Structures are given as C-alpha cells and as structure tokens.
C-alpha cells in the first residue's frame, strides 16, 4: 500500500518559539509571543508574513533544516518499507521559503537516514494529491489536511500536538507520538487489507467504500448506484470508522444502516488440536451447498445467493458431521499469508458443543500448512455465539463495520 507522510511537525520537531525568539531578542524587535503552540510561524508572534519571510531569509530557515527527527519515526517508516509498503514523503514546503524545497527536504531526510521511496514538494492540496495518486494513508499534523483527505476517501492519521488537540476528534485515527502513530497506521493497514481481502473473498456486491473512487465521493456514489441498477440489485455500501465523509454523505442521501458487524483478527495462527469429524473439499459440492442452505435457513437467515462460490483465492470448504448428519459448515479463502473464515453455520441443536471450534480449527490448520500466518473472521454484532467463538479461538476485535442501503 502507499503511505504518504508529512515532514514538518510530523517527522520532525520545529522549534518556532526558540528560533524566532532568539532572532527577535538579538535584534531587539518589538514582537510579542502570541501562540507558542502554533504550527505556523506567522501565528507564533504578532508579526506579519513579510516579517516572517525576513526572518526566514536571515537564517530562520535553520528551524527546519536543523530540526530533530521525532523519536520512532525512522523505525516506523523502515518497518513499513520492509513489509512492502511504499513511503511517499509529501510536503507543502514552497520555493518562497526554501528556494529549492525538494533538495532541502531530501538533505534533511538523508542526513537523518529516514527511509522513503519518493519525495514530492510544494503540494498545497495534499488531499487532492492523495486521491489522484491513489495514496492509501496520509500521516500529517494538519487537522484541515487530514479532514480533507477523509472527505476525499483517503484514510488519514493525525500527528496530534498541542496545536491541533482540540480538533483531533475530527480525524478517525491519530497519535501523540510515533509509537501511537505507528500503532494507528498499522491498524489502518490491517483494516484496509481485510476490507480488500474480504470484498474479493466473499464475492459480495462491489459497492464497498473502497469501490468509490477517491476525490469526488458524490460522483463515486452516483457511479455505484448506476452500476447497481444495471445489475438489478440494491446499492449497498460497507463502511468502517475511517469512512467518515462517505458515511455522512450516505446518511444524508437516505441510506440507513441495515446491518452492523465486527472484524476479528488473529495475528499469528497457532496449531489447533483436532476435534470433531470434519471433512473438506476444494470446491463446494452439491451436497455441501445443500447443507449450507439448510443450515442457513435453520439459523434464521435468508441468503439464497451463491456469491461465495466465486470467491478468489485458495478456497477450502468444510463440513462437520454427527453420525450421518451434517451439523455445521464453513469455508476459508487464503490469499498469501492471510486467510479469512466465511459462512460458518452450525445447526442450533449443536451450538456450544465444539462444532464451530472444530470447523475453524481445521480450516486454520490447513491454511497455516499452506502458508497463512494471519487470519480474520467477520461476524454480525448481534451474533453472540459467534462472538464467543471468536474470543475462544484467540481472535481479538479489530474494528466494526456496517452496511448502508436504500430500502
């Protein structure tokens, strides 16, 4: 995935008060301290933009070029690159201040050995840039920039400081230091991965939040509605807490929440003990399908679609038997090191008897044998037995998601 990272007050610590204060004191200038926590020089003291530019050209630029890197930033970027993610340094530094902002930024990054893949300077509309260049996550200290990114369909992580603390609630994810920023970014990366994997794996409608083109969300929703109409299906959107702007837009457009669910994750698949009588098949046989739909109806569901049979990835279909009777079914989809568990159905008479655990254990063992390291499981928020099963298997709740659909 592509992660864009700001420099000033995100990767570094700019000492505006100290640098400007020393300059003012040395020249015995009349300026007074106005806002010591501002992330803009023009607001720190009661001076004009011309006064600030004079300070910058008199050597004040060193406040940026000599700025220390924030603790943990280099390590976080290095770990993301090692995991295969692309790091784009995105800065709004302009020629008016920095003369050659790209070179100055590159020098600062390289002197501090901060790893990255690309550097782009003079970007005044970061949200627009991220949407246009398919950036998945933007990390920035500017609350307006992060809010605009969210409105454009880009996930944002706010580098929280005293200058933006009162607006931190406007951004879905954020952290006050790089340990927290890294944790939140890792969480977003996992959410994005599971959303993309599950949207492919269960073969459901393509009208996920991820299906809405970044940038113009209203136009994206209209395109999805047209596509749904062409298929003769209702337009349904699946959203997470990161889809703040799209969620608000859909609510205003008359899309109520029709279902709420939770995603559970297992970061390391253990070896599960064998239990129950489980048989597996790589393709859903007619018998498996018959049993699935019978259990679906017995559980009170009415989903008669066959969408999961078109799931992409390495699939495995499992059935749990008691004597000659099939009492539970489920299937898994493995893509690389990730495996998702889907359509777990256990007959009501056999719940809480280890059938669900046996099904999941067998599917996870087989996936681990094939190379999977991580697992996820999606459940309805009201399905208490399934939630208990998730926790008993070692899964932890990662995020909630919900569906909006016009009724």
Q: What percent of the chain has pLDDT over 90?
A: 68
Distances in whole angstroms, Cα of residue 219 to Cα of each of 113, 135, 139, 260, 407: 42, 19, 26, 25, 21
Higher pLDDT, 275 or 137: 137
pLDDT value, residue 307: 60
Task: Please tell me the distance from the alpha carbon of residue 14 to that of residue 321, in angstroms, as a whole number.
Answer: 65
Give the start-end residues of each E strand in 46-166. 68-69, 86-90, 118-120, 137-140, 155-159
Place of tokens 């349904």: 236
- Residues with Cβ within 8 Å of residue 400, at least 6 apart in sequence: 240, 241, 260, 261, 262, 263, 381
Distance of CA 129 to the CA centre of its chain: 18
Burial class (CB in 10 A: 0-12, 13-18, 19+), 169: exposed
Structure-token pair, residue 274: 């064998």
* pTM: predicted TM-score of the whole model, two decimal places: 0.86
Q: What is the DSSP track for 144-211?
A: HHHHHHHHTT-EEEEE--TTTGGGGGGSSEEESSHHHHHHHHHHHHHHHHHHHHHHHHS---S-BGGG
* pLDDT greater than 70 at residue 208: no
If one compares 5 and 304, the residue with the highest pLDDT of the two is 5
CA angle at 266 for the pair 265 and 271, rounded to the nearest 5°: 155
Is the predicted pLDDT of residue 145 greater than 80, yes or no? yes
Query: For 226-260, how does the pLDDT look when each residue is reduced to its tens digit (9 = 90+)?
Result: 888 887 878 888 888 878 888 999 999 999 999 89
Identify each DSSP E strand in 110-235 by its residue range.
Answer: 118-120, 137-140, 155-159, 173-175
List, as one string, the DSSP characters of 28-43.
Answer: T----B--TT-SSHHH
What letter would DSSP give residue 351? Answer: T
Q: What is the mean pLDDT of residues 186-198?
A: 88
Lowest mean pLDDT among 2-16, 126-140, 295-309, 317-331: 295-309
377: nearest Cα among 341, 348, 351 = 341
User: Which tokens in the block code for residue 81?
Assistant: 């690159």
pLDDT the model gives residue 383: 84
pLDDT (tens digit per residue) in 345-384: 999 888 888 999 999 999 999 999 999 999 999 998 888 8
Q: How many CB atoms lie within 10 A of CB 324?
A: 5
**What CATH number does domain 277-402 carry, 3.40.630.30, 3.40.50.1100, 3.40.50.970, 3.20.20.150?**
3.40.630.30
**pLDDT tens digits, residue range 12-58?**
999 999 999 999 999 999 999 999 999 999 999 999 999 999 999 99
Concatenated DSSP letters of 211-263: GSPSS-HHHHHHHHHHHHHHHT---EEEEETT-HHHHHHHHHTT--EEEEEEE
95 by Cβ neighbours in 10 Å (0-12 / 13-18 / 19+) ranks as: exposed
Judge contact between 178 and 238, C-beta under 8 A.
no
Every domain of the chain and the residues it spans = 277-402
Report CA-CA distances (Å) from 123 to 35, 91, 92, 129: 26, 6, 5, 8
| Three-state DSSP state, 48 | coil
> Are 337 and 372 contacting, i.e. CB atoms less than 8 angstroms apart?
yes
Q: Where are the alpha helices (DSSP H) in 83-142?
A: 95-98, 101-111, 126-132
Q: What angle do CA 24, 27, 31 make, to 5 degrees?
A: 35
The 3-state DSSP class for residue 400 equals strand
pLDDT band at 214 (very low <50, low <70, confident <90, very high): confident
Label the pairing between strands 314-322 and 325-335. antiparallel
Query: Does residue 203 surpass a pLDDT of 50?
Result: no
Looking at residue 280, what is its pLDDT?
A: 95
d(CA 271, CA 362): 10
Q: Which residues contact 109 (CB under 8 A, 6 or more apart)?
A: 7, 89, 116, 119
pLDDT digits (tens, 9 = 90+) for 263-286: 999 999 999 887 779 999 999 899
Give the model's confidence band at 204: pLDDT under 50 very low, under 70 low, under 90 confident, else very high: very low
Per the structure block, which two tokens stand in for 310?
A: 């078109």
User: Average of pLDDT values for 96-125?
Assistant: 96
Residue identified by tokens 């046989």 is: 285
Please provide residue 391's backbone torsions phi and psi, each rounded to the nearest 5 degrees.
Answer: -65, -40
Average pLDDT of span 78-106: 96
The mean pLDDT of the chain is 90
For residue range 54-73, list pLDDT tens digits in order.
Answer: 999 999 999 999 999 999 99
Judge whether residue 200 has pLDDT over 60: yes
CA 347-349-350 angle, to 5 degrees, is 70
| φ/ψ of residue 216, rounded to 5 | -95, 95
């Amino acid at each position: 995935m592509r992660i864009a990272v700001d420099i000033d007050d995100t990767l570094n610590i700019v000492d505006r008060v100290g640098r400007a204060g020393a300059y003012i004191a040395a020249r015995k200038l009349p300026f007074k301290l106005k806002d010591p926590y501002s992330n803009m020089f023009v607001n720190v003291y009661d001076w004009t933009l011309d006064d600030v530019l004079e300070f910058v050209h008199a050597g004040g630029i060193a406040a940026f070029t000599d700025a220390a890197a924030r603790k943990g930033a280099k390590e976080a970027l290095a770990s993301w690159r090692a995991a295969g993610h692309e790091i784009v340094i995105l800065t709004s530094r302009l020629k008016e201040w920095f003369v050659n902002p790209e070179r100055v930024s590159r020098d600062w990054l390289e002197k501090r050995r901060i790893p990255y893949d690309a550097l782009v300077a003079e970007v005044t509309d970061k949200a627009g840039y991220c949407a246009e260049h398919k950036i998945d996550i933007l990390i920035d200290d500017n609350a307006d920039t992060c809010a605009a990114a969210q409105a454009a369909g880009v996930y944002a992580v706010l580098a929280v400081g005293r200058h933006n603390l009162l607006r931190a609630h406007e951004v879905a994810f954020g952290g006050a230091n790089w340990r927290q920023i890294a944790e939140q970014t890792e969480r977003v990366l996992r959410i994005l991965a599971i959303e993309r994997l599950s949207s492919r794996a269960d073969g459901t409608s393509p009208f996920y939040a991820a299906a809405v083109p970044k940038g113009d969300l209203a136009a994206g929703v209209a395109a999805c509605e047209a596509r749904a109409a062409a298929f003769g299906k209702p337009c349904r959107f699946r959203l997470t807490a990161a889809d703040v702007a799209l969620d608000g837009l859909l609510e205003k457009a008359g899309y109520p929440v029709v279902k709420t669910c939770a995603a559970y994750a297992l970061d390391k698949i253990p070896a599960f003990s064998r239990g129950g009588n489980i048989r597996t098949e790589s393709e859903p046989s007619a018998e498996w399908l018959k049993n699935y739909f019978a259990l679906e109806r017995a559980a009170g569901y009415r989903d008669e679609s066959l969408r999961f049979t078109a799931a992409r990835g390495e699939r495995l279909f499992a059935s749990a038997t008691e004597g000659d009777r099939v009492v539970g079914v489920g299937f898994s989809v493995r893509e690389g090191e990730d495996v998702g568990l889907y359509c777990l159905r256990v007959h009501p008479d056999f719940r809480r008897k280890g059938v669900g655990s046996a099904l999941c254990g067998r599917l996870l063992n087989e996936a681990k044998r094939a190379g999977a390291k991580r697992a996820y499981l999606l459940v309805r928020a009201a399905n208490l037995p399934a939630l208990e099963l998730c926790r008993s298997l070692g899964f932890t709740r990662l995020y909630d998601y919900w569906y909006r659909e016009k009724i």
